[in-house]
Each structure stands twice: as structure tokens, then as C-alpha cells.
């Protein structure tokens, strides 16, 4: 259980992070020298209400995923991150488990990808971060909990993929996801969460179980998908997955053909998302 100092520490570190340092605009009058609660919530991928309750000591059981997200959003050092875990009443992830930290150099690169939908996942395909452009395109992920934050789970069990794929593309994508999860299990044998995720997927998704038992191995290609957005309409996009060596992250980036109608609609949609996030 988190101590009262947990919320105090989060607020103190929030006041010490400048918006410019995390790629946010500092325009307009600001009552605090650092980040607003809304900005910290956006960066951590959690709700503003939950940040408020944590800082006020009204939420006493933050999950490891929430603590990691806050440490990442606040740009904490290794020692500060360890201290935040202790204040939350949690132990640091053990060696042999899926890493969830985003190195500062990678975070700086992500901060500069403004106006492009970008989502960051760990090696188990659990969502770590989604920028405002991604939220505008794919929907708000701040309320997702547990397996809801896992892309493989959402694809095979529910609520399903946001995008529509051609049959051959869909088969390649599913094979790559299962293959990647199998490789992650071999790399992180001590990760109980990953083991439980795979067991549940094999139990509740016949399609996943078939692919898993087939032993098929495949990498990722750039895939073409169509997203039926409630505001922008149908957008056909190229989806690329970049793997970051050393920290074992997957960065998913959606783009449209320059000069196309899809690119114009995507630009308008992500601009609206950025204004909503800032406001």
C-alpha cells in the first residue's frame, strides 16, 4: 500500500518538470512552475481523476504499471524510480521480467514525433504510452486496465483490432504477434504476468492457440490498415513497428501517403487531438 508520501513525491516531482522538457507547449499563464495534472495524466496514460486521487492520498494501491508510467512521465532517475516504487509499497521488477522503462534518449525522440500517431509497447505488447495524435486516431486508452492494455489480448479476445486488414495482411500480422510473444516468453522466463497472459490467450482464443501450437515464426512488415473513425471517416494508413534494441520496446507509427486525402484527414484529426490535450 502506498504511503502518504507517495502523493507528495509525485506532486513535488511534477512541479520540477518543465513542459518544454517533455515536448509540451508552455504557452499561457501557469499557476505552477512544472506540469499540470492534466499534462502528467496525458504523459502517463492515466486519467486526471486518478492522478488527483494519488496526489491527495485518496488512492492507496497504485499498480506497478501506474508507478512505472508515472516514473517515466516524470523523467525520474533510476534511484528516484526505485524510491517511488518503495513509496508505493512495491518492489522493483525482478531481472528476467519484461522491461517497461523508456530510456530518456528514446523518450526525447518520441516527444518530437508531434502530429504523428505513435504508441509504445513493451515486449509483451502491453501499452506503455500513446501520444495525443494516437489517442485522437485510436481512442482514449487512459481508462484501460490490466489485459485491456495489451494489444495481443485486444486483438484476439476483445474488443478486436481497430483497423481493418486484407485477409493475407491479417494472417501475417497475427502470426507476427504470436511469434513475438513466444520469443518474449523465452527471453523473460521469470515474468509471471507474461506467462499468465499467454495461458489466458491459449485458453480463450482458439485462433491464438492454433497459431501458438503451429510454432510459426514471422517478423513484422509494414501493414496497410483502414480505420473507420467516427469523426474523420475511413482512413487508410501504413503501420510500421520499430523495435528498440537494448530496452526491447515496440514503437507503432501510423502514417498516410503524403498529399493524399487520407493524409489531409489524419492531419486535421491529430491537430484536433493536440488542441484537446493542451486545453
Write down the pLDDT at residue 101: 83
Residue 274: the pLDDT is 53
Element (H, E) at 240: strand 233-244
Over the stretch 50-103, which tens digit does the pLDDT of each residue have? 999 999 988 878 888 889 889 988 988 888 988 999 999 888 877 788 988 888
Per-residue DSSP letter, 34 = S
Confidence at residue 279, expressed as pLDDT on a 0 to 100 scale: 35
User: CB under 8 Å to 147, separation ≥6 — which residues?
Assistant: 153, 157, 197, 200
Contact (Cβ atoms closer than 8 angstroms) between residue 154 and residue 160: yes
Parallel/antiparallel/unpaired status of strands 163-164 and 127-130: unpaired
Supply 81's cell numbers.
524510480
Percent residues over pLDDT 70 in the chain: 94
Cis previous bond, 159, omega within 30? yes
- Over residues 108-128, the pLDDT tens digits come to 888 888 889 999 999 999 999
Q: How far is CA 21 from CA 43, 77, 165, 187, 279, in A?
A: 12, 15, 38, 33, 19
Q: What pLDDT score was predicted for residue 227?
A: 92
Q: Is residue 132 scored above 90 in pLDDT?
A: no
Burial label for 114, CB within 10 Å (0-12, 13-18, 19+), is: middle
Q: 169: closest CA among 237, 107, 120, 78?
A: 237
> Could you tell me if 249 and 106 are in contact, meaning their C-beta atoms sit under 8 angstroms apart?
yes
Instruction: Look at residue 26 in the predicted model and tell me its pLDDT.
Output: 61
pLDDT at 276 over 60: no
User: What is the model's pLDDT at position 246?
Assistant: 83
Query: What's the rounded Cα separation, in Å, for the pair 238 and 216?
Result: 24
Q: Which domains are delineated in the chain?
A: 4-87 (1.10.260.40), 104-278 (3.30.450.180)
Looking at residue 32, its pLDDT comes to 66
pLDDT of residue 25: 65
Q: CB 106: neighbour CB atoms within 10 A? A: 16
pLDDT digits (tens, 9 = 90+) for 18-58: 887 776 766 666 676 789 898 898 888 888 999 999 999 88
Which residues are registered as beta bridge partners of 226?
164, 236
Name the CA dihedral angle for 23, 27, 33, 36, rounded to a multiple of 10 degrees: -70
CA 105: distance to chain centroid? 17
- Phi/psi for 240 (5° steps) reads -110, 145
SS3 state at 215: coil
Average pLDDT, the chain: 87
The whole-number pLDDT of residue 28 equals 62
Q: What average pLDDT does this structure show over 166-194?
A: 92
Residue 140 has pLDDT above 50, yes or no: yes
What's the whole-number mean pLDDT along residues 227-245?
Answer: 90
C-beta separation of 6 from 54 below 8 A: yes
Amino acid at each position: 500500500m502506498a504511503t502518504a508520501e507517495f502523493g507528495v513525491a509525485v506532486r513535488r516531482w511534477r512541479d520540477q518538470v518543465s513542459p518544454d522538457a517533455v515536448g509540451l507547449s508552455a504557452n499561457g499563464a501557469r499557476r505552477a512552475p512544472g506540469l499540470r495534472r492534466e499534462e502528467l495524466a496525458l504523459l502517463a496514460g492515466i486519467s486526471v481523476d486518478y492522478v488527483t486521487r494519488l496526489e491527495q492520498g485518496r488512492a492507496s494501491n497504485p499498480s506497478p504499471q501506474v508507478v512505472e508510467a508515472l516514473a517515466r512521465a516524470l523523467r525520474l532517475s533510476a534511484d528516484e524510480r526505485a524510491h517511488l516504487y518503495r513509496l508505493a509499497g512495491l518492489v522493483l521488477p525482478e531481472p528476467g521480467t519484461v522491461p517497461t522503462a523508456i530510456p530518456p534518449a528514446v523518450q526525447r525522440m518520441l516527444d518530437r514525433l508531434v502530429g504523428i500517431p505513435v504508441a509504445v509497447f513493451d515486449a509483451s505488447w502491453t501499452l506503455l504510452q500513446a501520444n495525443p495524435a494516437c489517442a485522437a486516431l485510436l481512442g482514449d486508452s487512459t481508462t484501460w486496465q490490466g489485459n485491456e492494455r495489451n494489444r495481443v489480448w485486444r486483438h484476439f479476445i476483445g474488443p478486436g483490432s481497430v483497423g481493418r486488414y486484407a485477409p493475407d495482411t491479417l494472417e501475417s500480422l497475427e502470426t507476427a504477434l504470436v511469434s513475438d510473444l513466444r520469443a518474449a516468453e523465452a527471453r523473460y522466463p521469470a515474468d509471471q504476468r507474461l506467462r499468465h497472459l499467454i495461458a489466458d490467450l491459449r485458453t480463450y482464443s482458439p485462433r491464438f492457440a492454433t497459431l501458438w501450437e503451429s510454432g510459426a515464426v514471422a517478423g513484422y512488415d509494414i501493414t496497410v490498415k483502414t480505420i473507420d473513425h467516427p469523426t474523420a471517416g475511413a482512413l487508410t494508413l501504413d503501420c510500421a513497428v520499430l523495435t528498440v534494441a537494448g530496452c526491447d520496446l515496440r514503437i507503432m507509427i501510423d502514417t498516410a501517403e503524403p498529399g493524399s486525402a487520407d493524409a489531409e484527414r489524419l492531419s486535421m484529426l491529430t491537430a484536433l487531438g493536440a488542441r484537446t490535450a493542451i486545453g
